[in-house]
Structure 1
């Protein structure tokens, strides 16, 4: 069948003179920073060579004291740069070591994968069927280690709101807490095979409904909407699925992907392991006299998600069948060696060398901004592995009935340099009149902020440690009594999602800007940020200064857990309330596919505002800033920023906030 043309994820700048100038400026900046390290080696070499008596006459003696001082200052820096560059390279090599992967129950992984495949079909209804079939309590235990008595520390998410369009009527997944290592022990594996090897509770109608994907007759139960009725290869929904899934294979034609190539990807995406390890595990499983699960149509018995031993390869086999059904196209047998499979946490960690002076510069800028914040009433708090800036207005007391103007505001930043990247936003948070009477918290994340000298620079927190720290922070200052408004940007939306999934009672209002936490089963964020070829100046700068930075690269390529980081809209309390939930997208985003995220949120009932209007009750909770790129709306000026902060700092009640928008710029003193 003909190859589909991949829809554009971003708008590329035209190759006019300004574009070429920007390209040159980007490359010049990158070349300058990168060259400092090799130039340091050359300067040291030149200095040593000119100390040789026979070469010393060729070295001109400094005629001025200033040149002599400059020489020794340069030499001193070069002496520091050389061991730093060696150490940096050592850390980059060590970063490639595999880290332990969180393991979840088969039941949880199975349900998440099905919900992902349902996207673009009948999302709300299908997700309800999946959850009802799996059972709410079972799903909660699937993510909660199956331990009794864990409810207080990792409770199942409470359904908030009155059920009137806020997503509360949809059964939801429980906390994404993985299995403990001793619980996750498995002895599964084996080669991928077809025929009579799985049962996920499907009806016997699958044989006829899914014949194109090689479906089998198994027992009644929930049937995904892409299986009954079956999709056809010509169905636009199947064609769209084939079109984007191939980016997980570096953009090859879908027809080039074979069965074992897909199994390679699924083994990583489900378990964070290469397929051959699952094959070895099954051999051990069979050698122990334990037959694999999913054999001859037997049901998948895992004791309601509490079973410790798991046949991992059985789930991979089953998910290959699901992908075939969703694509309405069977895979050819075997493996195509020419296909390069993206396996984020197994692929080499790619890091570009950068000099000591860059990290030193970022460190001083971060400290200056922290000191400036302290002058405006902020305190820096270090609570174990949790760091944040907090400002509590004099006389503030927590109360559930506090108006919005007095409720705490939590800001969670994205990848980059941390505080310096949001300097203008920080200035607004410190000086805006509408924020003077409310506590403000700014979460500091050293591992994604180029904070090389920080304690946890190479020790990214996971969902549980991060949420535990945020919970302690809320309890310490009384925010657990009043609730918080959470503003998150880019990678910060993942932490925002963690908080909603584990402690939704802490969040009263949610604002997602450039959210990367949605649709993570689609490859756009991963492919655009790490694997695609940079084409525009901003992409070159982002690739060098952000995605190839040591701390960011290690977090993304060794600790990124998509099952944990993924946020379903139904997991957001009061999803359909424009006063409680707001989503801002950038139309020219080069990282996430903003148009697909926009469509996804609209499919889940989030109303988009009309052109020229801001989000709010009576208008909608979704806004697309068509002319903006990723992060531009958070710079701290302009209409897009004003609209975001107008929503965040709103003092009116949901019933009264119907018309008009305050200007964030006018709110600053």
Structure 2
């Protein structure tokens, strides 16, 4: 009989010395600068001593007053972000398809290495062709599913999760809202939740018990209270100034164009003698959460120096780059807006040829949404497409492009992708809900996870169905020349072992690079083995 790992309590962890080092040397000094600015400004004004201050103290007084005003503005923005999600339920059909696909994950009993070569000849091993049947409680597939599902409930023993908790979680996943009392629940919603619950109970191999355990709370990412911690104006200003200077450096010394197109801000390096028919494909780099150019400057510079013969496009994303002064800081593009805008930009650059103008919405009145998206994805011949490279949160945009415009992407590289296995809840739990115990976890939580723009994007504009990418949605996923995956075994955000298992069980072999000791982002560090492998793969592109 299989061991029921779903009943094992989460491992107890103790805080490391690194945690306290980061807490006292970085987090507390930065966090406390705001209340200290309040104290100094109020004291100076109340005692009216500021006219007698020296030049240095007057400058300090001015900065403190600016911090006070900015703090009030930051609190206002945080309250705006903390409101309910600005969008309602997603596309019901898309959510239903994604939910059914979620339940079928792992049902095929695929070998962890993907099986023999004959098995790999099938187009989609373990595809949605699987049937959801009633599993026995001790079926290893049911145990594993219960074990991954409980992540959405704080990794408590599965037996403590009751019917009420699952209904709340299902209703949020389907309708992006808190489930109302039974007497206020629309009949159509009740039927939909009951149907989803019936399928889920088949998948977990048991019936859920009635009752309520107040200690168990499901993670309802987009409706849970946001956790936003202030940062001083000085911090945002320094980040903004450095990124502005880096943009100037790129445009003045690397022949890079800084432009805007349909809501996308970007950096573009276009070689003078590049030929769209004979030269290597353009590279599109989608960066992740953090500090924008300040964080990815060395990688972008390395790409431009390593590949001077091909265009390189870097869409800049102020919403996840702590660029609070940007007019679109709290206005992220939706999945379809971003995919359409990026596809349109690729067309305007002459890298692809769309038969239908992605900007032209007139056809939407006479053509269905699905037909419109299909028409937009058609391309003229010859079509070579681009090489798309994404890191971390950038893999969500990468997924949107593969879902909406797969023909525009000839080669795909995913580094520390958060889009795979995101339905299992590890990324959500690790980033927002897990208690911080290590230096890296605290750095990630304070400097990224609790930042205003990041919280707005991920806690109020997140759509799990759109952001989840499945194996069968990746063109030529097993072709080592066209698709490449890089993972780190000690990633603090994604459950890299689960992602690795998901990929290898579907036949990913030669095009998966896995570093057992690698951490999130380490594969992109200059001189790292991961970056060497990435450059080697990019160099394989042929005209």
TM-score, with normalisation over the residues of structure 1? 0.71
| Contact 2:107/2:130 (8 A) holds in 1 | no
Matches within 5 A, 1:396-415: 396-399=274-277, 402=278, 406-415=280-289
Post-superposition offset of 1:336:
3.2
Whether 1:224 aligns to 2:121 is no
1:349 aligns with 2:239: no
CA displacement at 1:459 relative to structure 2: 0.7
Asked if residue 33 in structure 1 is aligned to residue 30 in structure 2, the reply is yes
Distance 1:95 1:602, change over 3 A: same
Structure 2 residue 323 is matched with structure 1 residue 416: no
2:375 alignment counterpart: none
Aligned to 1:4: 7
* 1:649 corresponds to: 539
User: Does the 8 Å CA contact 2:135/2:205 hold for their aligned counterparts?
Assistant: yes
Count of residues in correspondence between the two structures: 503
Partners of 2:222 and 2:236 lie apart in 1 by 25
Paired with 2:419 and 2:283, the residues of 1 have a C-alpha distance of 20
RMSD value over aligned CA atoms? 2.7
**Aligned partner of 2:101 among 81, 100, 115:** 115
Deviation at 1:562, TM superposition (A): 0.4
1:474 paired with 2:346, answer yes
Using the TM superposition, give the Cα deviation of residue 5 of structure 1 relative to its aligned residue in structure 2, in angstroms: 2.4
2:171 maps to: 267
The aligned residue for residue 468 of structure 2 is 566
Is contact 1:525-1:592 (8 Å) kept?
A: yes
Query: What is the match of residue 389 of structure 1?
Result: 267
Partner SS, residue 74 of structure 1: helix
Structural mapping, 1:355-366, within 5 Å:
355-366=232-243
Contact kept? 1:373, 1:430, Cα under 8 Å? no
Distance 1:461 1:60, change over 3 A: closer
- In structure 1, the gaps of 5 or more residues are 63-67, 126-163, 174-221, 283-291, 293-310, 608-619, 654-669
Deviations 1:275-328 (A, max 9, x none): 11786352xxxxxxxxx5xxxxxxxxxxxxxxxxxx232121111112211111
Alignment partner of 2:246 out of 369, 374, 385: 369
* CA distance in structure 2 between the partners assigned to 1:339 and 1:21 by the alignment: 30
Distance 1:168 1:2 in 2: 32
Q: Name the structure 1 match of 2:210.
A: 333
Q: Deviations over 1:153-184 (max 9, x none)?
A: xxxxxxxxxxx9698668999xxxxxxxxxxx
Distance 1:105 1:167, change over 3 A: farther
Judging changes above 3 Å, is the alpha-carbon distance between structure 1 residues 170 and 329 closer, same or farther for their aligned structure 2 residues? closer
Q: Per-residue deviation at 1:523? A: 1.1
Matched, 1:90 2:68: no
CA distances 1:372-421 after superposition (whole Å, capped 9, x unpaired) = 1112011111113111111111032322xx35xx2100000001111111
SS in 1 for 2:84: coil
> Do the aligned residues in 2 keep the contact of 1:123 with 1:604 (CA within 8 Å)?
no
Please list the CA deviations of residues 122-162 of structure 1 after superposition, one character each: whole Å capped at 9, or x if unmatched: 1789xxxxxxxxxxxxxxxxxxxxxxxxxxxxxxxxxxxxx
Compared with structure 1, are the counterparts of its residues 412 and 498 closer, same or farther at alpha carbon in structure 2 (3 Å cutoff)?
same
- In structure 2, the partner of 1:624 is 514
1:528 paired to 2:427: no
Partner Cα separation in structure 2 for residue 90 and residue 413 of structure 1: 28
The answer on 1:510 being equivalent to 2:388 is: no
Q: Which runs of 4+ in 1 moved over 3 A?
A: 6-9, 59-62, 100-108, 164-173, 334-338
Tell me the alpha carbon deviations over residues 526-573 of structure 1, each in whole angstroms, 9 at most, x when there is no partner: 000000001110110110010100000011111100011111110000
Matched with 2:335 is: 463
Deviation at 1:111, TM superposition (A): 2.5
1:452 aligns with 2:324: yes
> Contact between 1:168 and 1:574, CA under 8 Å: does it hold in 2?
no
Select the structure with the greater relative contact order (CA < 8 A; seq sep ≥ 6): 2
Show the counterpart of 1:24.
21
Task: Determine the structure 1 residue equivalent to 2:197.
Answer: 320
**Cross-structure match for 1:276:** 180
- Pair 1:256 & 2:163 matched: no
Q: Check the 8 A contact 1:167/1:573 in 2, yes or no.
A: no
CA 1:572–1:419 in 2, change beyond 3 Å: closer, same or farther? same
In structure 2, relative to structure 1, the CA distance for the partners of 1:642 and 1:166 (3 Å cut) is farther
CA gap 1:46/1:101 in 2 versus in 1, 3 angstroms: closer
The structure whose Rg is larger is 1
Counterpart among 243, 247, 255 of residue 151 in structure 2:
247
Distance verdict in 2 for CA 1:376–1:603, change over 3 Å: same
Residues in 1 aligned to 2:344 and 2:181: alpha-carbon distance in whole angstroms? 39
Equivalence for 2:140: 236
